[in-house]
Amino acid sequence: VFRIGDFSRLTQVTVKALRHYDDLGLLRPAHVDRDTGYRYYSGAQVMRLNRILVLKDLGLALDQIGPFLESDLSSDQLRAMLQIKQAETSRRIEQEQIRLARIEAWLGEGGEAVGARIDVVLKRVDAQRVASIRQVLPRRGDVGQLFRALAVYRQRHALGASSWTVVWHDGDFREECADAEATFATSDQLPADDRICASELPLVESMACVVHHGPADSIGSACRALLQWVDANGYQLAGPERVRMIERGGTNGAADVVELQVPIG
């Protein structure tokens, strides 16, 4: 029979952990002294403790371990539980490997200073109902015309608009003869119009995004950083590039804030 300190040394489990398992009812000492509250463990209890440690190590939370110890679980239930834990663990490994790739990509760039970095984030973008106008433009800069048309239409019909986005459908980042779809998101019904139609921007599960602050013609570095990140992290482009207006500012858009988005897979 062991006092808690000896049992702790025997099993390499901290005294605090043993007390915690006692509190949770997972491992009650074989005997507790009425007067002093001293906990006394028996040698045979090491087996139960080992079972707890094994189950904990599988990733079970302590309050899930109780039922296992009383083993009211059938073999099938156990298999099911193990398969869940297997899946969870695999997914965590994948996540960590992605994280590792990101760290190594950054190191590969020579640990470029934080201040100089352009940060790429990955997010899910929901499908959006939009008013849309699409046209092949001589140059990218001409997209302003499309937005002006949208703005006129919106104002005439007093429509709500939560965000303005242009989709470049070519997929090769060309500057000229670019196939542009200018949109604004809205939940309102869209009255018929000869240029503007109702459309939907599809859901994108994995969208790599960077934010650019400044005039439209200085967007090149952000665009390059985004593509380099996609490449360095082993992704492929998986859809047309989008540019979303976040905020307008300055004269001629000198302080605009836009977000570049590319779907990846």
For residue 192, state whether it binds DNA (rule: CB under 7 A): no
Q: Using the rule CB under 7 A, is 61 a contact of DNA?
A: yes
Among 119, 142, 170, 200, binds its own copies (CB under 8 A): 119
The burial of 192, by beta-carbon neighbours within 10 Å (0-12 exposed, 13-18 middle, 19 or more buried), is given as exposed
The full 3-state SS of the chain, as one line of letters, equals: CEEHHHHHHHHCCCHHHHHHHHHCCCCCCCEECCCCCCEEECCCHHHHHHHHHHHHHCCCCHHHHHHHHHCCCCHHHHHHHHHHHHHHHHHHHHHHHHHHHHHHHHHHCCCCCCCCCCCCEEEEECCEEEEEEEEEEEEHHHHHHHHHHHHHHHHHHCCCCCEEEEEECCCCCCCEEEEEEEEEECCCCCCCCCCCEEEEECCEEEEEEEEEECCHHHCHHHHHHHHHHHHHCCCCECCCEEEEEEECCCHHHCCCEEEEEEEEC
Residue 13 CB, shortest distance to DNA, in Å, is: 8
With CB under 8 A as the contact rule, which of the stretches 110-118, 131-139, 151-159, 188-196 interacts with its own copies?
110-118
In whole angstroms, the minimum distance from the beta carbon of 216 to DNA comes to: 29
Interface stretch with DNA, choices 56-64, 140-148, 191-199, 208-216 (CB under 7 A):
56-64
The least CB distance from residue 115 to DNA, in Å, is 22
Q: Binders of its own copies among 175-204, rule CB under 8 A?
A: none
Q: Which of 265, 255, 161 is nearest to 211 (CA)?
A: 255
Among 36, 75, 251, 252, binds DNA (CB under 7 A): 36
Question: Which residue, 29 or 196, is less far from its own copies as judged by CB?
Answer: 29
Tracing tokens 């482009």 back to the chain, one arrives at 237
**Contact with DNA (CB under 7 A) among 1, 6, 78, 160:** 6
For strands 2-3 and 39-41, give the pairing.
Answer: antiparallel
Candidates 95-103, 144-152, 187-195, 197-205: pick the segment binding its own copies (CB under 8 A): 95-103
Q: Look up tokens 């189950």; give the residue.
A: 55
Decide which of DNA, its own copies, none touches 14; Cβ closer than 5 to 8 Å per partner kind: DNA
How many residues touch DNA under the rule CB under 7 A: the total is: 21
What, of DNA, its own copies, none, does residue 61 touch, CB below 5 to 8 Å by kind? DNA
Binding residues vs DNA (CB under 7 A)? 3-6, 8, 14-17, 19-20, 33, 35-39, 56, 61-63
Binding residues vs its own copies (CB under 8 A)? 1, 10-12, 42-44, 46-47, 50-51, 53-54, 57-59, 68-69, 71, 73-76, 78-79, 82-83, 85-86, 89-90, 92-93, 96-97, 99-100, 102-104, 106-107, 110-115, 117, 119-121, 123-124, 163, 209-211, 213, 246-247, 249, 255, 257, 259
